[in-house]
Amino acid sequence: MRNIFKLPVDGFAIFATFFLAYWSRVEIFSSPIQPVDFYTPFLLFSILAFWLVTAIFHLYHNHRPVLSFSYLVDFLRTLALWGALMVAFAFFTKTDYSRAVIVLFFIFSLTMLFLIRLLTGKLDLKQTTADTELEKTIHEIVKICTFSSDDLALLEGVRRARAPNRFYFTTKRIIDLVGTLIGLLISLPLYPLIIFYIKKDSPGPAMIRQKRVGQNGETFTLYKFRTMRLDTELYAGAPRHSDDPRITKAGKILRQYSLDELPQFWNVLRGEMSLVGPRPEMPFIVAKYTDWQKIRLQAKPGITGIWQILGRKDLPLEENIEYDLYYVFHQSFFLDLAIILRTVPHLLFPRGAY
């Protein structure tokens, strides 16, 4: 979508979602509310403020794809600053705006604005390429496989210097708990159907338990729905293609849409995993790690991460570790949210999930 069209499209989306929020407030609550024209200054300020903030973060420049990580991180920063400006406007004008209207307006707006970007990202030919800027950065970092012990010590010092503060980890844990509770609420009704489908398709238990290596090398029990034949070794290597004979008919569907990973919400709830992070590996694989590969164990493993989004099993194993290292060195609140946003279309339109 050309830049000349992005401004009015975003403006119209904000305009439309405000009236949706106002109508929802009127329908949900019976208490009286100011007439809609009372909110005209607030609505005009909101549109102008969004355009201003998007200009600050260069969201309308054509030099990067709409769904690239750097764009999504700046998009989330834009929403955060825009929300703060709206709250400030409502406070300093000392006007008795309905809090319900403001909250619903912000929620509807950010949803609509993201959906617009998701749609334009699919229509934009640039989206057919990978995140080249991210790949360039990663390939510059991961030459560390040839580093000496002194270089690795220097790299570890850089990692510690760039490590997020305690506020980030507290916020991340809160998001994990909230997201997990929502995920369990949505997914629990699916459990009986998935279990029935697995057992009907092949004999054996519907769920498996594996020992995995988590943060700082600590092992834990990971839960997932069984997707392979009963005679498959518990710690066999992961399938490298969709025609792997070990995968059951039900397993192909479950793996394609990541439904086999649903039980891992329990691991997140227990604090063994996070919603976002490197994938937890099996002990026999971690036992072969070199010093530079062990750096990925500094972060808590996650259900989704950069590797799963940018190609999943389409990528060779060594590049999976490279992407995990990128995450370890760049952990942030907005990067986590960007990964979650990028996960949504990959669940709906999966590729590389074997």
For 49-103, how does the pLDDT look when each residue is reduced to its tens digit (9 = 90+)? 999 999 899 888 766 777 777 888 899 999 999 999 999 998 888 788 998 999 9
Pair (149, 298) in one structural domain? yes
Nearest Cα neighbor of 33 from 95, 94, 87, 98 is 98
Q: Which domain holds residue 50?
A: 3-128
Q: Rank 20-29, 150-159, 232-241, 323-332 by mean pLDDT and report only the highest.
A: 20-29
Strand partners, 207: 225
Pair (141, 78) in one structural domain? no
For residue 22, being part of any structural domain is answered with yes
Residue 247 phi, psi (nearest 5): -80, 130
Pair (151, 43) in one structural domain? no
Pair (264, 136) in one structural domain? yes
Task: Look at residue 141 and tell me whether its pLDDT is greater than 60.
Answer: no
pTM: predicted TM-score of the whole model, two decimal places: 0.77
Pair (67, 111) in one structural domain? yes
Range in 92-101, 135-144, 244-253, 283-292 the model is least confident about:
135-144
- At 113, the pLDDT band (50, 70, 90 cuts) reads very high
How many structural domains comprise the chain? 2
pLDDT of residue 211: 94
Pair (100, 154) in one structural domain? no
Distance of CA 259 to the CA centre of its chain: 16
Pair (107, 180) in one structural domain? no
Look up residue 173 and give its two tokens.
């844990």
For residue 161, being part of any structural domain is answered with yes
Pair (147, 123) in one structural domain? no
For residue 354, being part of any structural domain is answered with no
Return the number of other C-beta atoms located less than 10 Å from residue 132's C-beta: 12
For residue 353, being part of any structural domain is answered with no
For residue 191, being part of any structural domain is answered with yes
For residue 296, being part of any structural domain is answered with yes
Pair (113, 179) in one structural domain? no
Average pLDDT (308-331) is 69
For residue 190, being part of any structural domain is answered with yes
For residue 100, being part of any structural domain is answered with yes
Per the prediction, the chain carries an average pLDDT of 83
Three-state SS across 114-148? HHHHHHHHHHCHHHHCCCHHHHHHHHHHHHHHHCC
Q: Which of 128, 147, 170 is the last residue of a domain?
A: 128
Largest CA distance in the chain: 70
Pair (155, 238) in one structural domain? yes
Pair (262, 335) in one structural domain? yes
DSSP string, 3-52: HHHHHHHHHHHHHHHHHHHHHHHHHH--S----GGGGHHHHHHHHHHHHH
Range in 2-16, 36-50, 289-303, 311-325 the model is least confident about:
311-325
Q: Which of 106, 128, 150 is the last residue of a domain?
A: 128
Q: Which of 91, 109, 128 is the last residue of a domain?
A: 128
Pair (309, 326) in one structural domain? yes
Burial of 153 (0-12, 13-18, 19+ CB in 10 A): exposed
Task: Look at residue 219 and tell me whether its pLDDT is greater than 90.
Answer: yes
For 267-290, how does the pLDDT look when each residue is reduced to its tens digit (9 = 90+)? 999 999 999 999 899 998 899 888
